[in-house]
């Protein structure tokens, strides 16, 4: 059984999709042992509490980079975490942690990377940019986390169409529905060693 830590900063609907996928066995051989939030009083922490999952708040701004890294690594070691999932997490992980967990950390981003990603592109800002650009498709991306912002190797993407009567809010809603489908699919493949590398590019291969 693989132990997961889910890192959050907000409502936690992606965390909930993982909790539900484990309960319905869409994700096999894994348990969520720890939820780490970058902020206090976010709804994601209530979801963790409701499902009896241990949680901690680790705010980057209240400590030095080294203290922040050691606090995170200490928690992950205490709970014997094998894989880390960033689900609506808004802080940047320290390099020591991303190196230590190389190819064992994934993030969900609400756009089709490399479009509408990187510094400043998070939450509704992404969907407003998609709306203003008149893009005809948007979507979500699950990728490995390296030392950069939304720069790790892409594992899975799925798109949604953008119609004339869409708003940034309706685009966000459509994309969030996609997120709740692809993130559990990727977590299941990750913990069951079904992500294979082809010339430096990861693909899910359940064969």
Q: Which residues bind ligand GRF (CB under 6 A)?
A: 8, 10-15, 44, 87-88, 108-110, 122-123, 176, 179
- Nearest approach, Cβ of residue 185 and ligand GRF (Å): 15
CB 72 within 8 A of CB 94: yes
Comparing CA positions, the residue from 82, 144, 133 lying closest to residue 108 is 144
- Nearest approach, Cβ of residue 200 and ligand GRF (Å): 25
Q: Which is nearer to ligand GRF, 55 or 70 (CB)?
A: 55
Alpha helices by DSSP H, 79-193: 95-100, 124-133, 168-191
CB 18 within 8 A of CB 184: yes
Q: CB nearest ligand GRF: which residue?
A: 88
Name the pairing type of β-strands 105-109 and 137-144.
antiparallel
Q: Which is nearer to ligand GRF, 96 or 181 (CB)?
A: 181
Q: Which is nearer to ligand GRF, 96 or 180 (CB)?
A: 180
- Nearest approach, Cβ of residue 42 and ligand GRF (Å): 8
- Nearest approach, Cβ of residue 137 and ligand GRF (Å): 16
- To the query of whether residue 109 is one of the catalytic residues in this protein, the response is yes
Q: Give how far the C-alpha of residue 19 lies from the chain's centroid of Cα atoms, to the nearest Å.
A: 14
Active-site option among 51, 100, 109, 180: 109
- How many CA atoms, within 13 angstroms, populate the side-chain half-sphere of residue 127? 19
Structure tokens, 80? 């014997």
Q: Which is nearer to ligand GRF, 44 or 72 (CB)?
A: 44
CB 96 within 8 A of CB 88: no
Enzyme catalytic residues: 109
């Amino acid at each position: 059984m693989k132990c997961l830590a889910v890192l959050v900063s907000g409502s936690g609907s992606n965390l909930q999709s993982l909790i539900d996928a484990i309960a319905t066995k869409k994700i096999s051989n894994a348990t969520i042992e720890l939820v780490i939030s970058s902020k206090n009083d976010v709804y994601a922490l209530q979801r963790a509490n409701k499902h009896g999952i241990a949680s901690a708040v680790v705010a980057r701004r209240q400590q030095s980079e080294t203290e922040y890294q050691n606090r995170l690594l200490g928690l992950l070691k205490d709970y014997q975490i094998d894989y880390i999932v960033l689900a609506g997490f808004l802080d940047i992980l320290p390099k020591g942690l991303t190196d230590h967990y190389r190819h064992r950390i994934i993030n969900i981003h609400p756009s089709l990377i490399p479009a509408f990603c990187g510094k400043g592109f998070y939450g509704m800002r992404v969907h407003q940019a998609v709306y203003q650009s008149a893009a005809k498709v948007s979507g979500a991306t699950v990728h490995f986390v390296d030392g950069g912002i939304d720069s790790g190797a892409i594992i899975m993407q799925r798109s949604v169409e953008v119609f004339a009567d869409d708003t940034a809010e309706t685009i966000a809603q459509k994309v969030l529905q996609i997120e709740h489908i692809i993130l559990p699919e990727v977590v299941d493949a990750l913990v069951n060693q079904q992500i294979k590398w082809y010339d430096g590019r990861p693909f899910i291969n359940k064969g």
